[in-house]
Amino acid sequence: MVESLKGRLLRNAGWLFGAEIISKLFAYGVIVILSRTLGPEGLGQYSFIFYYIGLLSIFSDLGVGYYFMREVARDRSKAEELLPDVLGFKIILAFFNFLVIVALTLPLPKPEWMKILIILVGAEAMLQWVVYIFIRLMYAHEVTKYEAIARAVERAWAFFVGGAVLYFHRSLSPFIVTILIGYVIRESLRIHWGSKFVDKIEIRFKPEVWVSLLKKSYPFWLIGLFTLIYYRTDMVMLSLMRGDYETGIYRAAYTLIEVSLFIPNIVVATTMPSMARLWVEDRKTLEMLFKKSFQMLLGIGILEVIGYYVFARLGVIIVFGDKFLPSVPVLRILAFAIPFMFLNSLFGSFMNATGKELTFTKITGFTALLNVLLNYILILYYGASGAAVATVVSQGTASILSIVKTGLRGN
């Protein structure tokens, strides 16, 4: 079984690694074109719109998607039973979440054209929130190649078509509309491939079943809620407290950090279903898988801190240009968060897969609130650099608490 597990993990990791490389190249190519065309202010506006929608997507899932994936990973026969009710619930949640976005966006202290774009992005997000259950379904079957292809197609569209629109129009609005068309293409591919893992697609609207689902999924929702706050607060608070320019400076630095995050994303996506299954079937193999993943992520994370710190200035100039030189000190601060980010992804996957989701909920809840508090204080006085410090402290705190709770100290 160990050999077959290794084979599945390597195959899935290979697909995701290839897709992530292609997707990231296209994605960062888009950011480079955007930043060099519209400057820090344009990048700040773009970042605010999508991070704002991400932060407000708190009611789009309620943990049902993650619970569905874990249960199907443990027993694949449950897919036919759970999917109709989960889909029906997700549709209702998506529509309700969109209404929340509209209600909060209308009084927002932003230009009218930005409000229209926010609502438009929110409308497309409804489709994305519902369709994401098909990704969970594919991952539960330990198949990642279809999602890898869907991501690569969308990112290629954004780079070639979106880049051309941005180059000729030099305006954010037509560019975002083009990006959203690419999202619709991606969601269509996810539905097409995800539906292959069930005999037929049905949708049921049974509130009594939804209540039962919520009783089991709410810890995953709290984790998702706190994670959204954790990763989206800085950009939104920077925009509201310091303006588009400083948001763009911070986003440029964070974009370079995100280049490295595809590593833990691949590890988590490929190992979580296996961890959930091994928790039931073979805990010794599970322990080995966790330790190997921990050692690998920690080692790579430390090496990346050194690389980012040494080459921060060169990287910013090459990718974004001289206008973004204020991003250099921000990038050097954020670099120290990388090992913690890597490990926190693994800890979250491990605890969710092994029935310790309530423990991880408490950790993410505490650190999310800490992150908001630190961001408010540090952004007020230090702007983008303060937001970077808040990220490092929050991520480090989460790692320490996770090590304590998983008992890793004794290994």
Q: Using one digit for the tens of pLDDT, what is the confidence trace for 293-349?
A: 888 889 999 999 999 999 999 999 998 989 999 999 999 999 999 999 999 888 887
CB of 256 within 8 A of CB of 331? yes
Residue with tokens 């379904």: 137
For residues 33-50, b (16+ Cβ closer than 10 Å) or e, as one string?
bbbbbbbbebbbbbbbbb
CB atoms within 10 A of CB 265: 15
As a residue count, the chain comes to 411
Kindly state the average pLDDT of the residues 189-206.
91
Q: What is the pLDDT of residue 12?
A: 57
Residue 173: Cβ-neighbour burial (10 angstroms; 0-12, 13-18, 19+): middle
pLDDT digits (tens, 9 = 90+) for 163-194: 999 989 999 999 999 999 999 999 999 999 99
Q: What is the pLDDT of residue 410?
A: 42
Instruction: Name which of 341, 342, 96, 85 is nearest 217 in CA terms.
Output: 85
Q: What is the pLDDT of residue 81?
A: 87
Q: What is the pLDDT of residue 172?
A: 94
pLDDT digits (tens, 9 = 90+) for 101-117: 999 999 998 999 999 99
- pLDDT above 80: residue 123: yes
- What is the spatial distance between Cα 147 and Cα 136, in angstroms, rounded to a whole number? 10
Q: What is the pLDDT of residue 15?
A: 61
Q: What is the pLDDT of residue 45?
A: 94
Q: What is the pLDDT of residue 77?
A: 84
Higher pLDDT, 3 or 174: 174
The model carries a pTM of: 0.75
Packing angle, helices 112-140 and 2-55, rounded to 10? 160
- pLDDT above 70: residue 7: no
Mean pLDDT of the chain: 87
pLDDT digits (tens, 9 = 90+) for 348-395: 878 877 777 778 888 888 998 999 999 999 999 999 999 999 999 999
CB of 274 within 8 A of CB of 142? yes
pLDDT digits (tens, 9 = 90+) for 269-299: 666 666 777 777 777 877 887 888 888 889 9
Instruction: Name which of 387, 411, 275 is nearest 329 in CA terms.
Output: 387
The proportion of the chain whose per-residue pLDDT surpasses 90, expressed as a percent, equals 49
**Sign of the dihedral defined by the CA atoms of residues 155, 53, 212, 210, in that order:** negative
